[in-house]
Structure 1
Amino acid sequence: MDASTINELIAGSVGGAAQVIVGQPLDTIKTRAQVAPKGMFKGPMDILVQTIRKEGFFALYKGMASPLIGIAGVNSLLFAAYGVSRRIISPFPQLSLKEIAAAGAMAGAANAILASPVEMFKVRMQGQYGAATDKRLHVVVSDMWSHWGFRKGIMRGYWVTVAREIPAYAGFYTAFEFTKRKFSKTYGPQIPVWALLTSGATGGIGYWLACYPLDVVKSRVQLRTTPPTGTPVQYIGHEIRMIVSESGVSGLFRGLSPSLLRSIPAAASTFAAFELTREYLREYTGI
């Protein structure tokens, strides 16, 4: 592994930790909007109020341990895979936006390997509403392993996570690079931190707009008491039909508003932390 890839792994870990800490409360609201029984909540604001009232403020951070523990691996893999994908697509540093989208899609597919179990445990923690029977993370992990094993338990929802991550990171990196390049025309290659934050936020919005219905499907599949059956195409299609029959087409976008709100600070902090850490490492190592 070359030094530039190691730098990307380290910077990705720092960026991922920033993302989890900043974005977890709105992520919890988003997940509950997607998976809560119909009629349990009136909307995102009601989820926020009821969660704090019944479970306390820190319930908004339910499920954070899973991504925080796994985020170093997940984001390290993501940013490293993106760097490698860029170099596979073109030997030149300045890629077109189409090439950026392709590299992002490749990185997203690789990222799903680690993202799937991290997301699954996070969703199952967030899908608990403060009852006496709520389980701690280690119990959730143990139950999924003992009842269903690795593929149907730990990696549940892997293929729908792959299906989500490919368009998501194509949109993420394309929106980020497009915005960053616009700022670069005004400020040069070293854009101000606020412009970097804005570019990251735009990338986060691009991420959710590119994949949101598949994220709803993923959350529901991962929260079910039994694993999905049939091929990935069959069970993804079945879940989409179920959502539409229950809630109409709008059901595919439940929780989108907190996701978009979350993406602004979370993605901004991710990219800012990643870029600043990578610049520091570049100066420190000379690579």
Structure 2
Amino acid sequence: MAESIAPPAKNGWQDFVAGSFAGMAQVTIGQPLDTIKVRVQLESSRFKGPMDCLTQTLRNEGFLALYKGMASPLIGIGAVNALLFAAYSRLKSIQIPKNINGQLGLHQIAIAGAGAGAVNSILASPVELLKIRMQAQYGSTKGASAAISNIHYTGPIDCARQLIHEHGIRNGLFRGFWSTVCREIPGYAGFYSGFEFAKRKLAFGGNSDNLPVSRLMLAGAFGGVSYWICCYPFDVIKSQIQNQPDPPKGIFYVLTTIKKLYETEGLRALTRGITPTIIRSLPAAGATFTVYELSMRLFDRLDGRLDSETIK
């Protein structure tokens, strides 16, 4: 049974609100393991592995340290997700076949996801840079412990201000933009095609647009794992570039960073931190897709009621 792929057009505010709710759920659920992931990616000599990183972080900085850098994505996630889902919807709509009852192939879903990822990099790059800079700080901004910590920024606004003052917009706030593009294109191709593949399988031949919450979460989790499998080495590279003290040099800095990391630490360096990342993606991506789709379904019902009242 073919599913409908031509939903009614949404207003921009609906994408923004649904994206905001979905992003908040993603950040709240996934931030602790994301902090562990980033720290393991950046500090191979400091930690023996993810569990050692978790233990040291809790022992030395307390539980709230796992939420360092949360303010930046929490504030920016609404705009980021709105742009992402809006671009994805638009890129899907221009590929709709002439037979409106047909459905897009998974390769077309992947193309739309890749394009949405490229567009999404415009906002995701500075938001994640500020997050990573905050997560990479060890210690406290209060008391004597600050004297032996590597605290440079009091918050994301202070971080942005210092980076722009020292390096300008392009090399400061948008440092690592092209490494973000390199990650987002294959990542979101896998993210959306994986999600759509799982939705269709879990529909058992029915309409995949009306899956219950439990199956939506499973499909979202599958999409999240697909995202990281498709792009994880580029995420390691992006973290390295965005946290280094000086801006990268040359137009091929992504390749030179990969080469340098491989020569100094071997191939395993490109998968460092992948375990907590995969674990994190299961509930985080499941919540993201579920909250977004349920929000849009709610808007559909509200629109339907308003249309009925208008007709009456």
Which TM-score band (shorter chain)? over 0.9
**Correspondence for 1:31:** 38
Q: Distance in 1 between matches of 2:30 and 2:36?
A: 10
**Correspondence for 2:194:** 175
The answer as to whether partners of 1:5 and 1:83 remain within 8 angstroms in 2 is no
Q: Distance in 1 between matches of 2:112 and 2:32?
A: 30
Q: Distance in 2 between matches of 1:254 and 1:162?
A: 20
The answer as to whether partners of 1:29 and 1:44 remain within 8 angstroms in 2 is yes
**SS of structure 2 residue aligned to 1:240:** helix
Q: CA deviation at 1:7?
A: 2.3
Correspondence 1:111 to 2:120 = yes
1:144 to 163, 172, 180: 163
**Correspondence for 1:161:** 180
Residue type at the aligned position of 1:158? F
Q: CA deviation at 1:184?
A: 1.1
**Correspondence for 2:246:** 226
Q: Distance in 1 between matches of 2:88 and 2:17?
A: 14
Instruction: Let me know the Cα RMSD of the aligned residues.
Output: 1.5
Residue type at the aligned position of 1:241? K
Q: CA deviation at 1:187?
A: 5.6
Correspondence 1:238 to 2:256 = yes
1:252 to 248, 270, 280: 270
**Correspondence for 1:193:** 213
Structure 2, unaligned runs of 5 or more: 1-8, 141-145, 308-312
**Correspondence for 1:87:** 93
Residue type at the aligned position of 1:34? Q
**SS of structure 2 residue aligned to 1:228:** coil
Q: CA deviation at 1:90?
A: 2.0
Further displaced range: 89-98 or 196-205: 89-98
Q: Which has the higher helix share?
A: 1
Q: Distance in 1 between matches of 2:203 and 2:21?
A: 24
Deviation digits for residues 43-78 of structure 1, max 9, x if unmatched? 000000100000000000000000001001100110
Residue type at the aligned position of 1:253? T
Residue type at the aligned position of 1:49? T
**Correspondence for 2:298:** 280
Q: CA deviation at 1:136?
A: 1.5
Correspondence 1:44 to 2:53 = no
Correspondence 1:128 to 2:148 = no
**Correspondence for 1:217:** 237
Correspondence 1:54 to 2:49 = no
Name segments (4+ residues, structure 1) moved above 6 Å: none
Q: CA deviation at 1:89?
A: 2.0
Q: CA deviation at 1:10?
A: 2.0
Further displaced range: 180-189 or 153-162: 180-189
2:226 to 206, 209, 224: 206
- Choose 1 or 2 for highest CA Rg: 2
Q: CA deviation at 1:98?
A: 0.5
Q: CA deviation at 1:193?
A: 0.8
In structure 2, the CA distance between the partners of 1:44 and 1:63, relative to structure 1 (3 Å rule), is same
Q: CA deviation at 1:242?
A: 1.4
